[in-house]
Amino acid sequence: MSKREYFAPGQVYHVYNRGVDKRKIFLNEEDHLRFIHNLFEFNDQTPAFNMGYSFRAVQNKNTPPVKRKTEPRKLLVDILAFCLMPNHFHLLLRPRVEGGVTLFMHKLGAGYANYFNLKYERSGALFQGRYKSVLVNQEPHFIYLPFYIHLNPLDLVTPEWRNKELKDYKKATKFLESYRWSSYLDYIGKPNFPSVTQRDFLLKFFEGPQNYKSQMDWWLKELSLETISDITLE
């Protein structure tokens, strides 16, 4: 992606990256939680070193975010959806301000790489170059991309889904509903990391959590991937 690429506020972008040499970037639960914490923490126009929001805000709790400052957050982007896989991640972002995606991704990438390198006593690049992005400006992509992002975890248990072959529909459904490292559970009405994503926009379009789940069930049965094959990471 060119450094001069312009991210227009209000537009939707599929943003993704993987580990350098396809290495794993999430090795355990703590790593996943740290990245999800960063999704929440760095989504603010306030410089990261001044931010004082508690990680309690992104956990599954029926309490508002605990803050150590009085100013409300000023979001850089709407995080519409996300999914973390062992060696890559997917984000669906809608910038709120000029330069929102660029600043958010800089804070997110640098913050997590610093954490990872310090924890595992390594140095050098963690990610495979600069993140990639695709403007979602066609209706089929807009409709199908959230489902594609949320289907990614099936690679871990039923990788044949990418060839439109799903041997056990119930197993796939059960796995997706047990996979914590995506926004899928929040989209079907099962609070997981509810403070991380801004879901009203997509849930209004898909007519609520129950209908979103019904459409995901349809995707699992149909597995029609041709419409988004040109905007996937793989």
My answer on whether 110 and 205 are in the same domain is: no
Q: Read off the pLDDT of each residue in 69-74 and give the average, rounded to a whole number.
A: 74
- The pLDDT of residue 226 is 54
For residue 163, pLDDT beyond 90: no
Considering the entire predicted model, what is its pTM?
Answer: 0.85
**197 part of a folded domain:** yes
My answer on whether 167 and 77 are in the same domain is: no
Q: Read off the pLDDT of each residue in 155-169 and give the average, rounded to a whole number.
A: 87
Residue with tokens 């995901």: 216
Domain containing residue 202 = 139-231
Lowest mean pLDDT among 108-122, 163-177, 217-231: 217-231
Q: What confidence tier does 66 reach under pLDDT thresholds 50, 70, 90?
A: very low
- Please identify, among 73, 107, 135, the residue that sits at the C-terminal boundary of a domain: 135
Strand pairing category for 88-95 and 132-135: unpaired
- Please identify, among 135, 169, 195, the residue that sits at the C-terminal boundary of a domain: 135
Contact 177, 188 (CB under 8 A): yes
CATH code for the domain in which residue 111 is found: 3.30.70.1290
- Please identify, among 81, 112, 135, the residue that sits at the C-terminal boundary of a domain: 135
CA-based R_g, the chain, Å: 17
3-state helix, strand, coil in the chain (%, to 5): 45, 15, 40
H or E stretch covering 176: helix 169-176
Q: Higher confidence at residue 48 or residue 137? A: 137
- Identify the CA nearest to 105 among candidates 29, 208, 1: 1
Mean pLDDT of the chain: 86
- The pLDDT of residue 169 is 86
